[in-house]
Amino acid sequence: MTYPTDRPATWFVTGASRGLGLELVQQLLRRGDNVAATTRSTERLTAALHETDTLRLLPLQVDLADQAQVDRAVATTRERFGDLDVVVNNAGYGYLGAVEEVPDADARAMFDVQVFGVWNVLRAVLPGFRERRAGHVINVSSIVGLLPFPGWSLYAAGKFALEAISESLAAEVADHGIKVNLIEPGYMRTDFLRPVSLGLPTSTSDAYPAIREMVDQHLRMPGSQLGDPAKAADAIITVATTGDAPLHQLLGSDSLSLAATRIQALTDDVEASRALATTTDIPAAGPTGA
């Protein structure tokens, strides 16, 4: 168990000025915990928290793709609050477009946030966690990190990478007293599908009418999503405070249903692959003797 019971916990939360990250920060401050909250705009964050007691808040304007900035943010957090207990890698944004429509710059920008930004945070916090033999990493993925949809290739690629990092990390640090969890929400009522948080390619192709229709459907979706970000934030706090959640913690009945679909599809592929798969083995050597 890595969550402290004798003092307020200290959290480091990325992507904190909107959506799930903002809701999580608000709930943590109301609990009396310490929160270092990274954002691209501390002004937007503090404005959003105008009715919340911010005495225990450390707002940090950080470019997560810059290792030096991340290192300074983590060091500042420890200087301000002492211990660091829980890290939530939440920063991210959506992107909708066919694979061939995604420009190189957009792909690299997505990976800077969802992959390299997370890696920078992990490199900054893990030595301290290992030294204390305590700490909790919570990486916010998505059901799209398990089941990619047409048009979501770039976002899903980043989340698939996050899933792989997290699974490897969990095995690597288990002996150091460090806990790792993935959070895999379904659709939530945040700004995620609004222009402020959603990327679109600047040039599209007439070859993908189904994707154009899918994009239009998603742009009309805000306000009708199933998931409640307040309940999701509370669930993340539960994951941290109980310490007994599975590595893959799904959130939302839509996420549960889609994950089951993915499992069945993989099971079907394993069975369909079996006959050809076994043909590539090198035959075992036969018995030798006089």
Contacts of 237 (CB under 8 A, 6+ apart): 24, 27, 28, 31
Which among 95, 159, 179, 187 is annotated as catalytic? 159
For residue 159, indicate whether it is catalytic. yes
Q: Is 225 in contact with 189 (CB distance < 8 Å)?
A: yes
Which among 17, 93, 95, 141 is annotated as catalytic? 141
Q: Is 65 in contact with 92 (CB distance < 8 Å)?
A: no
Which among 155, 166, 179, 187 is annotated as catalytic? 155
Q: Is 251 helix (H, G, I), strand (E, B) or coil?
A: strand
Q: What is 137-187 written as a DSSP string?
A: EEEE--GGGTS--TTBHHHHHHHHHHHHHHHHHHHHHGGGTEEEEEEEE--
Identify residue 285 by its one-letter amino acid code: A
13 membership: H or E segment, kind and range: strand 10-13
Distance CA 184, CA 252 (A): 9
216 membership: H or E segment, kind and range: helix 209-219
Q: How many residues are listed for the chain in this entry?
A: 290
For residue 141, indicate whether it is catalytic. yes
Active site (catalytic) residues: 141, 155, 159
